[in-house]
């Protein structure tokens, strides 16, 4: 365990550190940034392999300094400088012989207005650019080490999903089932915290939705809503007893090591009926087609369009990605944060790149029954999508 160290400074991870820094340099070049100063948890974690309170400074020449406010317990590594506050950074850069950047990237989409205003004053002569965007692009494709971690997440998540039939008891509420799944996740090593990008998205360890709750409109941009049990967290399971004829969609947290997989499977209480079974089969058909089609160079929107064409062909459009309220995407990038680039939307013309990791989730809401569909987390390869969550996809009856 390297809890107390900056992971990416330990010798075994030197190559990984180099790869990530190289990607950041490319991203700075594309964005016209001379340097970036990062403070958000997700980006600090990406750059250092652990969280700390402080800043990561990286410039286009490939220099990278960890400015630590707390904890200050990392010894005397050459890349680590203890500071009391961000106002100390320019003097430290000067001491290290690093030139002031003419154009500095700050995390404009993540840090608060007050935080950015403070940092602007620390670099009064710099033109400020958006490091949030540059880092999203950089983190969008994964290194082999990141893929290894995500593959491990998938193994853990599948090990827990395997146990779900044993957790179900008759007359159970959706919340009660979710609580037992949460416990199994935590005992399997799940960190118990779901890292979502954007300060307006709040969720506990995931969502178990059943029956008409699948169609409850949500304030959040999750693919499926659910009313939740409280207006204080209007999302997911609602506390109703799960009934015969309903489906039980499980979309729970896959974060065991800082990265995460995103995976959905459906069980049922008895027979959910023909329409639900057909829509579920349609979701699987979509995944099979996209698995072959999604190679580097294909436009993201083409994935959406192909999925939608299949849905229309099967006459299931009314139920696709929601019934009363529809989500405008069928998937998203996934990594340190649940919702990374790219979103798979009808308008996103960006091309797929090798080693992007995508959660693809063609789902349907069947009124009176619940949600159906499968979600897997994939890596984009030249041979198509490689599935990090290869787990049986059939609807299994819990009774």
**Which 87-126 residues touch a copy of itself, going by CB under 8 A?**
106, 108-117
Q: CA geometry: angle at 153 spanning 394 and 333, to 5°?
A: 80
Among 20, 36, 43, 52, binds a copy of itself (CB under 8 A): 52
CA 22 to chain centre: 22
Inter-residue contact 323 to 215 (CB < 8 Å): yes
* Coil, strand or helix at 127: strand
The tokens of 19 are what? 């790869």
The answer to the question of residue 182 lying near a copy of itself (CB under 8 A) is yes
* Separation between Cα atoms, residue 307 and residue 289, nearest integer Å: 8
For residues 333 and 326, give the distance between their C-alpha atoms in angstroms, rounded to a whole number.
19
Does position 349 interact with a copy of itself (CB under 8 A)? The reply is: no
Interface residue with a copy of itself, options 86, 129, 228, 272 (CB under 8 A): 228
Q: Segment contacting a copy of itself (CB under 8 A): 27-35, 80-88, 202-210, 301-309?
A: 202-210
- 229-248 residues in contact with a copy of itself (CB under 8 A) are 229-234, 238
Q: Which of 216, 248, 286, 330 binds a copy of itself (CB under 8 A)?
A: 216
Question: Given the rule CB under 8 A, which of 96-104, 150-158, 210-218, 284-292 is the region that contacts a copy of itself?
Answer: 210-218
Q: Are 229 and 238 in contact (CB under 8 A)?
A: yes
Which neighbouring-strand residues pair with 222?
Answer: none
Rule CB under 8 A: is residue 357 a binding residue for a copy of itself? no
User: Which span sits near a copy of itself by CB under 8 A: 70-78, 92-100, 312-320, 346-354?
Assistant: 70-78
Site membership for a copy of itself, residue 327 (CB under 8 A): no
Length of the chain counted residue by residue: 399
Q: What would the x/- binding string for a copy of itself be over residues 246 to 285, using CB under 8 A? A: ---------xxxx---------------------------
Q: Is there binding between residue 70 and a copy of itself (CB under 8 A)?
A: yes
* 148, 151, 183, 326: residue in contact with a copy of itself (rule CB under 8 A): 183
**Residue carrying structure tokens 């789902």:** 363
Q: Does 83 bind a copy of itself (CB under 8 A)?
A: no
The reply on whether position 12 binds a copy of itself by CB under 8 A is no
User: Could you give the CA distance from residue 110 to residue 95 in angstroms, rounded to a whole number?
Assistant: 29
Least Å distance, CB 55 to a copy of itself, is: 11
Dihedral class, residue 355 (left if φ above 0, else alpha if ψ from -120 to 50, else beta): left
Pairwise CA distance, residues 303 & 287, whole Å? 10
CB of 382 to a copy of itself, least distance (A): 30
- Candidate list 98, 122, 159, 175; residue touching a copy of itself; CB under 8 A: 175
Q: 232 vs 382, which CB is nearer to a copy of itself? A: 232
Whole-number minimum distance, CB 192 to a copy of itself, in Å?
Answer: 3
Where b means 16+ CB within 10 Å and e means fewer, 316-338 reads: beebbbbbeeebebbbbbbbbbb
- Closest separation in Å from C-beta 293 to a copy of itself: 31
CB of 375 to a copy of itself, least distance (A): 21
Told to check if 205 binds a copy of itself by CB under 8 A, we report yes
Tell me which stretch binds a copy of itself (CB under 8 A): 25-33, 160-168, 172-180, 388-396.
172-180
275 contact partners, CB below 8 Å, separation of at least 6: 319, 366, 369
The DSSP-derived string for 179-199 is HHHHHHHHHTT--S----SST
How far apart CA 15 and CA 25 sit, in angstroms, is: 15
């Amino acid at each position: 365990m390297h809890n107390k160290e900056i992971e990416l400074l330990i010798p075994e991870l030197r190559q990984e550190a180099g790869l990530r820094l190289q990607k950041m340099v490319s991203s700075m070049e594309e964005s016209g940034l001379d340097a970036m100063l990062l403070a958000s948890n997700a980006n600090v974690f990406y750059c250092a392999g652990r969280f700390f309170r402080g800043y990561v400074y990286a410039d286009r020449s490939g220099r990278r300094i960890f400015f630590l406010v707390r904890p200050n317990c990392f010894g005397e590594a050459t890349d680590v400088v203890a500071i009391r506050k961000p106002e100390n950074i320019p003097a430290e850069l000067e001491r290290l012989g690093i030139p002031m950047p003419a154009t500095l990237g700050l995390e404009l989409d993540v840090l608060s207005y007050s935080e950015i205003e403070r940092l602007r004053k620390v670099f009064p002569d710099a033109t400020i650019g958006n490091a949030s965007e540059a880092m999203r692009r950089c983190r969008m494709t994964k290194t082999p080490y990141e893929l290894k971690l995500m593959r491990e997440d998938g193994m853990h998540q599948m090990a827990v999903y395997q146990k779900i039939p044993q957790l179900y008891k008759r007359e159970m509420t959706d919340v009660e089932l979710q609580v037992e799944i949460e416990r199994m996740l935590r005992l399997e090593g799940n960190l118990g915290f779901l890292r979502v990008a954007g300060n307006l998205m709040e969720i506990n360890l995931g969502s178990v939705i059943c029956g008409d709750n699948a169609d409850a409109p949500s304030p959040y941009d999750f693919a499926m809503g659910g009313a939740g049990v409280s207006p204080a967290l209007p999302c997911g399971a609602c506390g109703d007893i799960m009934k015969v004829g309903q489906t039980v969609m499980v979309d729970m947290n896959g974060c065991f090591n800082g990265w995460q997989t995103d995976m959905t499977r459906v069980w049922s209480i008895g027979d959910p009926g023909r329409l639900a079974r057909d829509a579920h089969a349609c979701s699987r058909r979509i995944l099979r087609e996209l698995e072959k089609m999604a190679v580097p160079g294909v436009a993201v929107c083409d994935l959406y369009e192909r999925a939608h064409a299949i849905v229309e062909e099967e006459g299931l459009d009314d139920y696709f990605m929601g019934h009363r309220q529809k989500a405008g995407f069928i998937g998203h990038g996934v990594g340190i944060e649940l919702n990374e680039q790219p979103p798979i939307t009808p308008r996103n013309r960006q091309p797929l790149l090798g080693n992007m990791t995508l959660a693809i989730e063609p789902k349907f809401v069947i009124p009176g029954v619940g949600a159906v569909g499968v979600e897997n987390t994939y890596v984009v390869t030249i041979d198509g999508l490689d599935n990090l969550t290869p787990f049986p996809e059939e609807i299994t009856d819990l009774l």
